[in-house]
Structure 1
Amino acid sequence: MRRRLALPSVALSLPFLLAACGTRTAGAEVPDRAELEARAAALQTRPEHVYVTEADGFDLAEQSVGVLGDDGFSAAYVSGGGGTITLSVERGRVDPASCPALPLTSATGAGGPAEAPCEKDGGGWYRAAGGSHEYVRAEDGLRIRVSADTGAVDRATLRGAAERAHRASDAELDAVLPERGPGAGEPVERGDLPPAGDGAPRNDVGASG
């Protein structure tokens, strides 16, 4: 599974409100659907794959918004206390048979355990192992996960975020999707990626190492 998501390394966050996502001013006009679809395509995802959520004390980290896999979506919500909740959406299903075998998603981006037991809870399943936990559910051919580290986000907070996770409205798409770059239709380029090589972020050091 390819994950192209960069969590913020500095405290740049976007205050998130359920109705307006915190960036729109009252009465501001929402772009037409074609523009929203173009912005989603520039991110290499689809509007119907963009989900948003809400959790008390957590704000959407604007720089974390990115594509997951081929055309999925992922975003992180951060708290002032250092907690991170990751919302991820990708094509797939989940049921009692397939749930335990899903690799557990880690809020830090590192790979979690290859398997984790699943406990039915509300409209989905709760899973915990290796210091991470998540809620996962399937709808409309998509697998929606809300994940966090167990030491940073308690289960009640995680469940609330999972229950509030929903497909973004046009106004929410406008607030969450990045603006298109200078080359319309092309993904916005990451400034910390070298022009050649394997694409790993630059981490230059001096001759002494």
Structure 2
Amino acid sequence: MIRTVRALLLALLLPVLLAGCGTEKAGTGTTDPGPAGPDRTELDARVRASQIAPELVYVTEAAGFTVAQQSVGVYGGDGFSAAYWSQETGGQIQLYSDRGTMTAQSCAEPSPGAHADCERDGPRWYRTGSGQHEYLLPEKGDVVVRLVADSATVDRAVLLDAAKAVHRPGNVELAALFPTPAPAATAPVERGDLPPVGDGAPDNGVGTSG
């Protein structure tokens, strides 16, 4: 009799147990999706607060190099700049992104009166001069991304790999570059010792007993 009751209870509970197991997502071990990260609108607002145009933000990757957070900032009018540094070699790759176009002439003459050796390398340009070398990448929307490094500390193969890896950042990458929103401007603090008329100097007068 007892065995019959136990078998009946198990038969009644089995569908409930199976239904409960079916609600857990495969591979996660939990049904909690966790907190959502910032969306693109919020991230673009962070970028604009740094005086940078969101469409000019580009990132790259190079083996052994990590971005230096303190180097992230505006370049030119509303362009973007970031430095990638190798702890092992001490080498540094500077990334610049700004509005513009690139031709054989502008590559060979980076500024009035200046001359550099420039050659075409696939969809990119490779330029050398003054102990430095760089890859220049014309992007869509009249944007040019430059990767600049010291020739003695970063060889061309490493710089080329970084050039091939240049891309627009995803939300996770953008959040890492701009981790917190820029602080909002605060209103001036009202001081109670400023007189309503005159030059605004504090009233330091003393009474008749002073």
* Normalised TM-score (structure 2): 0.67
Extract structure 1 runs of 4+ deviating beyond 4 A: none
Q: Higher Cα Rg: structure 1 or 2?
A: 2
Structure 2 vs 1, CA of residues 98 and 164 (structure 1 numbering), >3 Å: closer, same or farther? Answer: same
Q: Which structure exhibits the higher relative contact order, with contacts defined as CA atoms closer than 8 Å and separated by 6 or more residues? A: 1
Q: Does the 8 Å CA contact 2:82/2:95 hold for their aligned counterparts?
A: yes
CA contact (8 A) 2:46 2:182 kept: no
**Map of 1:31-42 to 2, 5 A cutoff?**
31-42=38-49
- Find out whether 1:83 has 2:83 as its counterpart: no
Instruction: Say whether residues 1:65 and 2:72 are aligned partners.
Output: yes
Work out whether 1:49 is the aligned partner of 2:50: no
Q: TM-score, normalised by structure 1?
A: 0.67
Q: Deviations over 1:12-62 (max 9, x none)?
A: xxxxxxxxxxxxxx9663312221111011111122111110101111101
Residue 126 of structure 1: how far off its partner (Å): 0.5
Looking at structure 1, the residues matched to 82 and 137 of structure 2 have their Cα atoms a distance apart, in angstroms, of 17
- Taking the aligned partners of 1:89 and 1:126, their CA distance within structure 2 comes to 16
Aligned in 2, Cα 1:129/1:59: closer, same or farther, shift over 3 Å?
same
List runs of 5+ in structure 2 lacking aligned partners.
1-32, 186-210
Query: Counterpart of 2:163 in 1: which secondary structure?
Result: helix
Deviation at 1:182, TM superposition (A): 2.5
The alpha-carbon deviation at position 114 of structure 1 amounts to 3.1
- Percent identity over the alignment is 50
- 1:74 correspondence with 2:81: yes
SS in structure 2 of the partner of residue 153 of structure 1: coil
Match of 1:158, SS state, is helix
Q: Which runs of no fewer than 5 residues in structure 1 stay unpaired?
A: 1-25, 104-112, 185-209
Q: Which residue of 1 aligns with 2:147?
A: 146
Count of residue pairs the alignment pairs up: 151
Report the equivalent of 2:182. 181
- Please list the CA deviations of residues 178-198 of structure 1 after superposition, one character each: whole Å capped at 9, or x if unmatched: 4223316xxxxxxxxxxxxxx
- Cα separation, 2, equivalents of 1:180 and 1:83: 30
Please tell me the residue identity of whatever aligns with 2:92: T
Root mean square deviation of aligned Cα = 2.1
Higher helix share: 2
Q: Which amino acid aligns with 1:74?
A: S
Aligned mates of 1:47, 1:182 — CA distance in 2: 18
1:122 and 2:122 matched? yes
Report what 2:165 is aligned to.
Answer: 164
Measured in 1, the distance between the counterparts of 2:154 and 2:34 equals 35
| 1:179 partner SS | coil
Determine helix, strand or coil for the equivalent of 2:104.
coil
| Letter matched to residue 132 of structure 2 | S
Structure 2 distance, partners of 1:182, 1:73, is 20
User: How many Å apart are 1:117 and its aligned residue?
Assistant: 1.8
Tell me, yes or no, if the aligned pair for 2:50 and 2:182 is still in contact at 8 Å. no
Q: 1:63 Cα shift? A: 0.5
* Partner AA of 2:57 in structure 1: V
CA contact (8 A) 1:137 1:143 kept: yes
Is the 8 Å Cα contact of residues 47 and 173 (structure 1) preserved in structure 2?
A: no
What amino acid does structure 2 have at the position aligned with 1:174? A
